[in-house]
Chains A and B, each alone.
Chain A
Amino acid sequence: EPEVTQTPSHQVTQMGQEVILRCVPISNHLYFYWYRQILGQKVEFLVSFYNNEISEKSEIFDDQFSVERPDGSNFTLKIRSTKLEDSAMYFCASAGVAEAFFGQGTRLTVV
């Protein structure tokens, strides 16, 4: 069964460093998303991406964040200068017509 894959599964980074979280969406999907979940809190929407551009973003998705689809298969989330409060699970999702499928997440720890 096709699935969304995310790498790495866990990343530890120092405050102020840049991180890139990687995702391989399901191959024939057209919509791509990033969500995050701070420990013990709700899953929060960050950004959606369609037709090679951002279609929607939340107030969390400020200038420190960017997304890219550098080739036909990868979808990345970059955080330019990480803060302690960026520590969270980051989930990538992709959708075709309706159902959205999520990856297993990247646990980002900023120290």
Chain B
Amino acid sequence: SQQGEEDPQALSIQEGENATMNCSYKTSINNLQWYRQNSGRGLVHLILIRSNEREKHSGRLRVTLDTSKKSSSLLITASRAADTASYFCTHSWGGSEKLVFGKGTKLTVNP
């Protein structure tokens, strides 16, 4: 399977805490993208990190990429109840432009 696999499958934290989600993949990648999906809603693009980048920030989000370990992490700092959602990593590889999604990490932030 070439999809990213997120870990953990579910994460429950208190508001204000940090949330860390991990992703592993199997192929070489062009870039890796993280998305958020609120229940029954569309996929919101959070951040893209290219294969030659190691870390990227966007607001309260920090993404790291370790191509030697074929893994990425998404850190959400100072979490809010509104961050409750499922989070997915996905990537394209080779000459394919399609994105393949795993099961995601279901994050619950308790107020």
Contacts and interface: CB of A to CB of B under 8 A. Distances in A.
Task: Report, as a range, how many residues of chain B touch the other chain.
Answer: 20 to 34
5 nearest A-B residue pairs (beta carbon): A104-B42, A102-B43, A43-B101, A45-B98, A99-B48
24 contacts: A33-B98, A42-B3, A42-B101, A43-B37, A43-B43, A44-B101, A45-B98, A45-B99, A45-B100, A48-B97, A55-B97, A56-B97, A56-B98, A58-B98, A89-B40, A93-B99, A98-B30, A98-B48, A98-B50, A99-B33, A101-B45, A102-B35, A104-B42, A105-B41
A35 to B, nearest CB: 8
Contacts of A50: 97
A55 to B, nearest CB: 7
A95 interface: yes
Interface string A76-111: 000000000000010101010011111111010000
A99 B97 contact: no
> B-side binding surface: helix, strand, loop or mixed?
loop
Nearest to B50: A98
B15 to A, nearest CB: 26
B43 A91 contact: yes
Interface string A24-35: 000000010101
A99 B45 contact: yes
Contacts of B99: 33, 45, 93, 100
A33 B104 CA distance: 20
